[in-house]
Amino acid sequence: MSLVVMATGGTGGHIYPAVATARELMARGHEALLLGQRGGMEERVAAEQGLPFQGVDAGKLARSGQGRPDPRELLRAVRGVAEARAFLSRTRPGAVVGFGGFASLPGVLAAQSLGLPTVLHEQNARLGLTQRLAAGRARAVGTAYPKVVGLPEGKATMVGMPVREERLPRAEALARLGLRDGPLTLLVMGGSQGSLALNNAVPDVLRGIFGETGTSPEGPVQVLHSTGPRWLEEVAPRVADLPWYHAVGYTDAVAAWSASDLAITRAGTGTLAEAAFHGVPLVMVPLPESAENHQLHNALSVQGAGRGGWLSNQPWPGGWGRRC
């Protein structure tokens, strides 16, 4: 039995695949631990999932207005590498798996500096900056897509996207969410933190399509809209008069996917993989501010496989819908 460290953090798209991998490793008799930013979302998720966690400092390497990384963030990243190196020197894990995002960089670079085996998992259809910095010395790279922009041919193996392989019977999922059994169920989800653009646009568009009663030519409709906790107070009053429109700050993702017939989402790979696992068709709205526009590449890959349609980044409804 050996210890495997999951270097991850920042967003759910990086964290939940690490959680799923850790669970699988533990089921096979290994020890698993998450390493990420101290006080970050990954620390909270690790606690919720009952997984060991090691926090270090981490700095975002995004460029400033002058085209250079913020030196304060660089200092934090360097400090994080030193902290991770001290931890890994003591524990000597069998491997460190990097899941991308700025919070994974300290763990991966520290492991490589110590000569520990490192493996990378790239969730997106375009290689991120963190992964580019570590790919050269990684023992292996696994991807969620057949082709990843920025990775040379033969460098990686497509392994898919680790997700929570849990489903609920539809009736149970609807009951858990407080929804009716019978209407077409539409899920609106903007990722773990919600999406301001979807929150602003979707309620009015769906009101215009389905009216006050929530009906379509195919029958009644109901909507479950996960706004993100910080946006609920803004969205809920706008749909309070629509009995078929249910706005919540956060939802049980397994129940939501198990209950849904169609979803409007961003195009993070975690979301796309969960939709694929549950067999839910998508209307994808890529986040234009995603690093190197990777969500657009994700959406194009899914659309190319015939599994969804993507909407442009123009304000709804002027430009959105042209590619569905």
- Angstrom distance (rounded) from CA 321 to CA 324: 5
Helix (H, G, I), strand (E, B) or coil at 23: helix
211 is in an annotated binding site: no
192 is in an annotated binding site: yes
Residue 100 and residue 120 in contact, taking contact as beta carbons nearer than 8 Å: yes
128 is in an annotated binding site: no
Helix (H, G, I), strand (E, B) or coil at 74: helix
The CA-CA-CA angle for residues 116, 120, 124, to 5°, reads 165
Residue 166 and residue 254 in contact, taking contact as beta carbons nearer than 8 Å: yes
Task: Find how far residue 179's CA is from the centre of its chain.
Answer: 25
200 is in an annotated binding site: no
136 is in an annotated binding site: no
Q: What is the DSSP letter of 40?
A: S
Residue 183 and residue 214 in contact, taking contact as beta carbons nearer than 8 Å: yes
DSSP 181-239: SSSEEEEEE--TT--HHHHHHHHHHHHHHHTTTTEETTEEEEEEEE--GGGHHHHHHHH
298 is in an annotated binding site: no
36 is in an annotated binding site: no
Which residues are documented as binding site?
A: 11-13, 124, 164, 192, 295
Which residues are documented as binding site for UDP-N-acetyl-alpha-D-glucosamine?
A: 11-13, 124, 164, 192, 295
